[in-house]
Amino acid sequence: MLVLLAPSTSTDGDLAGLLAPAGLVVAGVGLTATLRGRVRWARIGSRALGAAVTAAGLVLVGIGGALAPAPAPVLASAGRTVTVQPPPPSLAPTSAPTPSPSSTAAGVPVVTATATPSTSDPAPAPGTALAALATLPVKGRAPKTGYARALFGQAWADVDRNGCDTRNDVLRRDLTAYVLRAGTHGCLVLRGTLDDPYTGRTIAFLRGQATSTAVQIDHVVALSDAWQKGAQRWSAATRQAFANDSLNLLAVDGPTNEAKGDGDAATWLPPVRSYRCAYVARQVAVKARYGLWVTAAEQEAIRVVLSGCPGQRLPAARPFVLGGGSVEAASTPAPQPDPAPVATTGGGLDPRFDTCREATAQGYGPYVRGRDPEYDWYQDRDHDGVVCE
């Protein structure tokens, strides 16, 4: 191990830097005179004088060494030298240091002290969508095998027993300036205005065979997605309740709803970015309520959205309320003769089925009151004069 002397910037260091070399020179000259008997240019004419000069030179070397500052230790190994300099007091770490090796000499690591910053994110506040997201199980998507819409019960069933189908319940909740049909106990919506949350557009809703689909009811967590993430294990009653839960339903732009399909947050988000926080928060609320899981990609997609709105609260389910809009009397259709008895098939009529669901599944319908004899075969639940829509 070598010890090097580093020059000092102090006054003692400058004097030491002069005395030590000078003493070596003087001692060398004196030693030469002692060996040879004289050194003419130095005016040393005898060995005794040479010995005295040598002694004086060694004294100077000693004084210079005493005045020199303490050297910085140096580690040398395999032809490589590393000097370890102490840090200035102003740069000393103020927290517990984390060693990190900078070089190695003779198997001994030379370390520098660095403070370790905290990188942990704060825990999400209770009641927020982020906090609820952390409670959802993360699993892979189960196969879609066996899925059918019919497994979630009759479409828009009156599960809350308020005397109105779920579709009209949602329309009344989400439309503004809506008009109700008289005689339906505040149930059936004839027309209204939708401020669509998905596209930001204002859509005029008008009930009718060619116009009703402009506004559709979206299952925020799609039925197929629920089937693949836990609903396969549910009872029929639970699946029907899920399909008609107000928390999971929104009136939205029809074409946009069709484009969404059964996508989750990893594959589809509303075009309006400002609504995405509320949208994924509703998905989290629904999945937490029914014990559904999320995939890893879905969880990450929701987390990214909510990172921009960490205080987003979970929405709450609200019961549907009848009425609320203006009422318009239904137009009275012209009297029609009683239809003649019809056969189940033949005679130019469509085949007769037990339910409208079976008829539409086979491509038949819709049937209009006063025009189609098939209208009388089925129940007009929304009282709009059209069945099997």
Rounded Cα distance between 322 and 186, Å, is 5
SS3 string, 41-102, reads: HHCECCHHHHHHHHHHHHHHHHHHHHHCCCCCCEEEECCEEEECCCCCHHHCCCCCEEEEEE
Rounded Cα distance between 247 and 160, Å, is 13
Question: Could you tell me which of 254, 195, 193, 257 has the C-alpha nearest to residue 220?
Answer: 257
Q: What pLDDT score was predicted for residue 12?
A: 56
DSSP lists the bridge partners of residue 216 as 252
Q: What pLDDT score was predicted for residue 68?
A: 67
238's tokens: 């639970």
Q: What pLDDT score was predicted for residue 36?
A: 76
Compute CA 8 distance to the chain's CA centroid, rounded to the nearest angstrom.
58
Q: What pLDDT score was predicted for residue 291?
A: 97
Q: What pLDDT score was predicted for residue 66?
A: 75
Query: Could you give the dihedral angle defined by the CA atoms of residues 175, 176, 180 and 186, in that order, rounded to the nearest 10 degrees?
Result: 80
Question: Could you tell me which of 130, 116, 143 has the C-alpha nearest to residue 304?
Answer: 130
Helices marked H in the chain:
11-36, 47-67, 129-133, 166-174, 223-227, 236-243, 254-260, 276-290, 296-307, 356-361
If DSSP codes are grouped into helix, strand and coil, which group holds residue 229? coil
Q: What pLDDT score was predicted for residue 106?
A: 42
Mean pLDDT by 10 residues, the chain (389 residues): 38 65 78 76 77 80 72 47 47 44 41 46 89 97 94 93 95 97 93 98 94 95 97 97 98 96 97 98 98 98 97 94 87 50 51 79 73 80 76
